[in-house]
Structure 1
Amino acid sequence: MTEPLWTGPAVALVNLFDADAAVDAEGTAEHAARVVEAGIRAVVVNGSTGEAAALSDAERVALIAAVRAACPGVPVIAGASGDWWQQAAARVAGAIDAGADAVLVAPPRLGGALTGYYARVVDAAAGVPVLAYHYPGVAGGPVPVEALPGLGVGGIKDSSGDPARFGHELGLGGDLAVYTGASALLGYASWLGAAGAIVAAANLVPGECLAAWDRDAAAQHVVSRTERESKALPGGLKEAMARQYGTSPVRRLG
């Protein structure tokens, strides 16, 4: 059986922008290094938490390269979704050239044949792991569980927060690495034998995310509360980070 690229919690990284809403690749990389130093096992850059939909392809590459240089000891996974296969394939190739160890790719927002789309993406990755991304309405379209075995991907990030669906994915077996994107399911995912998690809460409470993965109920409550409270702030997660770390709260989206 193939070992997953990493196990345990990864951070769904926030991308930082300066006062003029320009990409702050150095600041983003410094923040990535901070959570890695706290024990987080991998970094996912240019995902939905990183406002990837508002980034140019050149900005995506700059962020990947900066994070890769700042976090030499852990896997760096890059979001590389696209609204059609050629766009996604080009982003996959660019991410790998910039140093990504794997790519995270959601289906096209407007649907289409998933097998053909992912076949092109996997081909462009040239042996680098591809993770499908299920977060319909936020990051592309849905990834039906029954379609997963035929997509040729190495794993999936499921941010739906649906425990029944998550259990179904784990029941597929084989070499599919299953990661939850729902911070409320950290302990549950660990208990069921998932490969790991990719969560935005790790930007704020990395230590508690690690403890929750180890099935510490008190830590799981802290993680869930932290995410809930940050979402209630006018500026969301970035405002919570600004209060905690002094980072920029500027957003391009939302």
Structure 2
Amino acid sequence: MTEPLWRGPAVALITLFHADGSIDPAATAAHAARLVAAGIRGVLVNGSTAEAAALTDDERVELVAAVRDACPGVPLIAGASGEWHGQAAARTRAAVKAGADALLVAPPRLGGDLAGYYARVAEAAGDVPVLAYHYPGKAGGAVPVDALPGLPVAGIKDSSGDPARLGHQLALGWDGSVHVGASALLGYASWLGASGAIVAAANLVPEDCLAAWDRDAAAQHRVMRAEREAKAGPGGLKAAVAARFGTSPIRRIG
């Protein structure tokens, strides 16, 4: 297997907004730096947790550049999904120019030529690795496990939360890295030999995410409880992060 860009938990970073709903790149970058200081090993900007569907392409670039400056030396992954290959390729080129170390790209919601789609994205990325993103219904379409060896991608983020699918990907024998996107599977993914994780819960409980990856069962339970309570409360994860760290609870989606 090709050596992955990072191992262990990365954060699916939230995007912070001003009271008027405009993006706050400085505060977003400061939050990312706080999590990196706590030990988080990579930062995903402009993913589904970041409310990427509500961000303009210019805002996406501004956020990547701000987080890049605030977190030097830490792998920065940029979400660059699109409804067709031209949109995804354009977002990929812009993210690479802004300083992204890798791209996270979901396939189009309506499917189509998966290999051709990722070939166009990989061409736009140049030497920067592309990770496929499987989170159908939330971020684009599905990435079938058996299709992975034939795709020009360096790895996958699987946010399905399906432990059997995770095991299938790890048993493929292909050259790509596997990163889990479901915080409930942190310890399980580590135990099975996954490369790493990209999880939203790391915005709120980074220390417990790291400990859960190291197979601390008590920490894994705390991660699941924190995420469950955040989702049940008013304002969701962003409100819970605001309560702990004093960040903005403003959202564009939800």
| TM-score w.r.t. length of structure 1 | 0.99
Which residue is equivalent to 1:193?
A: 193
Q: Does 1:202 align with 2:202?
A: yes
**AA at the equivalent of 2:195:** A
CA distance in 1, matches of 2:17, 2:173: 40
Contact between 2:61 and 2:98, CA under 8 Å: does it hold in 1?
A: yes
1:7 aligns with 2:7: yes
Give the total of aligned pairs: 254
Q: CA deviation at 1:173?
A: 1.9
The alpha carbon displacement at 1:174 in A equals 2.9
Alignment pair present for 1:22 and 2:56:
no
State the AA in 1 paired with 2:45.
Answer: V
Query: Cα offset for 1:2?
Result: 2.0
Aligned counterpart, 1:225: 225
Distance in 2 (CA, whole Å) between partners of 1:233 and 1:198 is 23
1:52 is aligned to: 52
Q: Is the Cα–Cα contact under 8 Å of residues 2 and 177 in structure 2 kept in the other structure?
A: no
The CA deviation at 1:205 is 0.6
After TM superposition, the runs of 4+ consecutive aligned structure 1 residues lying more than 4 A away are: none
Question: Aligned partners of 1:5, 1:15: CA distance in 2, in Å?
Answer: 23
Unaligned runs of 5+ in 1: none
Q: Distance in 1 between matches of 2:171 and 2:95?
A: 31
Partner-residue secondary structure (3-state), 1:118:
helix
AA in 1 matched with 2:206: P
Deviates more, 1:242-251 or 1:214-223: 242-251
Instruction: Give the Cα separation in 1 of the matches to 2:71 and 2:17.
Output: 19
On the 8 A contact 2:44/2:77 being kept in 1, the answer is: yes
Question: Secondary structure of 1:21's match?
Answer: coil
Task: For residue 112 of structure 1, report the CA deviation from its aligned partner.
Answer: 1.1
- 1:42 alignment partner in structure 2: 42
Secondary structure of the corresponding residue to residue 44 of structure 1? strand
Secondary structure in structure 2 of the residue aligned to 1:250: coil
Question: How far apart, CA to CA, are the structure 1 residues paired with 2:238 and 2:211?
Answer: 23
Q: Secondary structure at the match of 2:78?
A: strand
Deviations 1:116-151 (A, max 9, x none): 100100111102100000000000000000111111
Instruction: State the partner residue of 2:134.
Output: 134
Q: 3-state DSSP class of the match of 1:77?
A: strand
> Within 1, Cα distance between the matches of 2:173 and 2:131?
15
Quote the residue 1:112 is aligned against. Answer: 112
Per-residue CA deviations over 1:152-206 (Å, capped at 9, x if unaligned) read 1000000000000000001112321000000000000000000000000000110
Range moving further from structure 2, 166-175 or 201-210: 166-175
Structure 2 counterparts to residues 49-198 of structure 1, below 5 A = 49-198=49-198
What amino acid is the match of 2:214? D
One-letter amino acid matched to 1:181: G
For 2:190 and 2:170, the matched residues in 1 are separated by 11
Name the SS for the 2:197 alignment partner.
strand
2: CA distance, partners of 1:120 / 1:184: 33
SS in 1 for 2:224: helix
Say if 2:212 is the partner of 1:215: no
Per the alignment, in what secondary structure is the counterpart of residue 161 of structure 1? coil
Partner-residue secondary structure (3-state), 1:179: strand
The worse-fitting range, judged by mean Cα deviation, of 129-138 and 234-243 is: 234-243
CA distance in 1, matches of 2:238, 2:186: 22
Instruction: Give the Cα–Cα distance (whole angstroms) in 2 for the partners of residues 208 and 139 of structure 1.
Output: 26
Counterparts of 1:253 and 1:74, CA distance in 2: 28
Q: How does 1:226-245 map to 2 (within 5 A)?
A: 226-245=226-245
Give the drift of 1:73: 2.2
Structure 1: how far apart are the matches of 2:245 and 2:206?
13
One-letter amino acid of the structure 2 residue matched with residue 246 of structure 1? G
